[in-house]
Amino acid sequence: MITIIEANTKALLKDYVKFPFSLYRNHPYWVPPLIQDDLETFDKTINPAFHSAEAYFYLAYKDNKIVGRIAAIINWDEVNDQQKKKVRFGWWDVIDDIDVTKALLEKVYELGRENNLEYIEGPMGFSNLDKVGVLTEGFDEMGSMITWYNYPYYKEHLEQLGYVKEKEYLENKFPFENVKPEFFFKIQELIKKRYQLKPVNFTKTKDIMPYVDEMFDVFNESYASLSSFVAITDVQKEYFKKKYISFINPEYIKFVLDKDDKMVAFSIVMPSFSEALKKANGKLFPFGFYHLLKAKRESKDVLFYLIGVLPEYQNKGVTAIIFNECYNTFTEKGIKNCIRTPELEENTAIHQIWKHFDPVIFRRRRTYKKNL
C-alpha cells in the first residue's frame, strides 16, 4: 500500500530533502545538493518565490519506507499575468514503481483542480532560475549543481501515464581549445566603436553588487519573448543577489555598458562544483566548505550559467565583447572545458552564439505536460 504524506514539518522536510541521497547512494553521476540550501529553498520565510507562488511537498511511503517525493507548485504570476492555467510539479524523485509516481502526481492534480487550472507541467521549480526538466539523454555524464539528475525510468513513467513533451532543453560542451580569438577579437573592437560600448570586469564581489539589479532587468528583457519565461521580481532579485553572487568568482562575471553606463549585456560563468559537491555529500561542515572553496579557486571546468543581451542589441555582435573578456580570463586561469547549462531547443538565437566553438550536445532534458 502506498501512503502520501505532506512534508509540512521541519523533520518531514528534512526527510524530503534527504530522500535522493538514499535513492542515488554511490551513484557515479548524481551530484548531491547542499541539504541546508534545499531546506532554505523550501522555507516560506526565506525564499521570496513564495510571495507569488504556493507550494506543497509530499512524501510517498511503502512498507513504512520513503519511496518517492514531489512538489506541487502554482506560480500565480504565471497564472494571472500570462493566463497560463498551469500547475507545476518539481523536485520529483521516485523508485522504479509507476504506482508511486501515479500516487504522487495525483496530489499535484488535486491542487490544480482545486484552483481551476487546466494542465500540469514539470518537472520545474518556482522560476526560470530553478532547476528544470527530466533527463532523457546523457545518463553517463556528470550532473551539475544547477540541474537535476534522474534515472532513465522517470521518462518512461511519465510517458506511460499519458504525458507528452512540452519543452526540450539542450546541454552542450566544448573544450576551451576550440575557442579561437580570431572569431571575435576584431569584430568586438568594431562593435565597441560602432555602438560606443565598453566591457566591465571585476576582481572583488563588492564592486559587482551595485550592478546586480540592473543585470536582472537585462535578464528579464532578454528572455521575455520565450513562451516559458516568467520574469524575476524585485524581491527575488535581492534574494538571488545574496544567495549566488558571492558564491561566484568575480572575474567570471562580465558586463557590457553603453556610453551612458547603461547595461546592455552580461554573462555569468561558474566554476564546476560537481566533484566538490560529491565530496561534501550535502554538508558544508566539517569539510564541504573546504572542497567548494578549492573548486572555486582551482576548477578547470566552467559552466556558462546565464547570458543576456537587451533585445535592441541582439544580433549585433555584442556577445563578441563578452567572449573576448572571457577568453582572456579563461586563458589566465588555464580553463580546459566549457559547459553550457540547459537552453531551450527553440531558442535558436542562443545556439547561434556558440556555433564557432563546435559545441557537442551531451545531455537532453525536457518538461512534460498533461491536461487535467
Q: Is it the case that residue 226 has pLDDT exceeding 80?
A: no
- 115: pLDDT confidence band, cut at 50, 70 and 90? very high
Q: Where in the sequence is the domain holding 321, given as residue range(s)? A: 174-364
279 in the same domain as 159: no
Cell of 220: 528579464
Give the pLDDT mean for 4-21. Answer: 98
Q: What is the pLDDT of residue 318?
A: 95
Q: Which residues contact 160 (CB under 8 A, 6 or more apart)?
A: 98
Cβ atoms 47, 238 nearer than 8 A: no
Poorest-confidence range of 185-189, 235-239, 278-282? 235-239
Q: Is residue 264 part of a domain?
A: yes
Domain boundary among 146, 171, 196: 171
Report whether 335 contacts 302 (CB < 8 A).
yes
Q: Is 193 exposed, middle or buried (0-12, 13-18, 19+ CB in 10 A)?
A: exposed
Asked if the model's pLDDT at residue 350 lies above 90, the reply is no
At 163, list the grid cell.
504525458
Number of domains in the chain: 2
271 lies in the same domain as 356:
yes
Same domain, residue pair 266 and 217: yes
Q: Looking at the domain assignment, is residue 255 inside a domain?
A: yes
Cell, residue 307: 547570458
Report pLDDT for 246: 82
Furthest C-alpha separation in the chain: 69
Instruction: Please name the residue ranges forming H helices in 57-114.
Output: 76-81, 98-114
In the chain, what percentage of residues exceed pLDDT 90? 87
Same domain, 18 and 80: yes
Residue ending a domain, choose from 137, 171, 205: 171
104 and 167 assigned to the same domain = yes
Residues 212 and 165 in one domain: no
Confidence of residue 231 (pLDDT cuts 50, 70, 90): confident
Check residue 369 and give its pLDDT: 98
Residue 247 or 50, more confident = 50
Question: What band does 170 get if pLDDT is binned at 50, 70 and 90?
Answer: very high
Mean pLDDT of the 187-198 span = 96
Give percent of the chain above pLDDT 70.
Answer: 99
Look over the chain and give the mean of its residue pLDDT values, rounded to a whole number.
95
Whether 370 is covered by a domain: the verdict is: no
pLDDT attached to residue 244? 83
Q: Which helix (H) or strand (E) holds 255?
A: strand 253-257
166 and 179, same structural domain? Answer: no
Write down the pLDDT at residue 311: 94
Query: Residue 166 sits in a domain of what CATH number?
Result: 3.40.630.30
Distance separating alpha carbons of residues 169 and 124, to the nearest angstrom = 12
pLDDT digits (tens, 9 = 90+) for 88-106: 999 999 999 999 999 999 9
Backbone φ and ψ for 185, nearest 5 degrees, come out as: -65, -50
Give every CB contact of residue 21 below 8 A, 6+ residues apart in sequence.
32, 281, 282
Tell me how far apart the alpha carbons of residues 272 and 338 are, in angstroms, rounded to a whole number. Answer: 10
What pLDDT sits at residue 192? 97
Q: Are residues 285 and 231 in the same domain?
A: yes
**Same domain assignment for residues 229 and 331:** yes
Indicate the residue among 171, 192, 226 that finishes a domain.
Answer: 171
pLDDT at residue 333, rounded to an integer: 96
- Among 104-108, 137-141, 227-231, 329-333, which stretch is predicted with the lowest mean pLDDT? 227-231
205 and 239 co-located in one domain: yes
Bond prior to 286 in cis (omega within 30° of 0): yes
Which residue, among 200, 191, 192, has the nearest Cα to 255 in the 3D structure? 200
- In angstroms, the CA 78 to CA 54 distance is 12
Q: Look at residue 348 in the predicted model and tell me its pLDDT.
A: 84
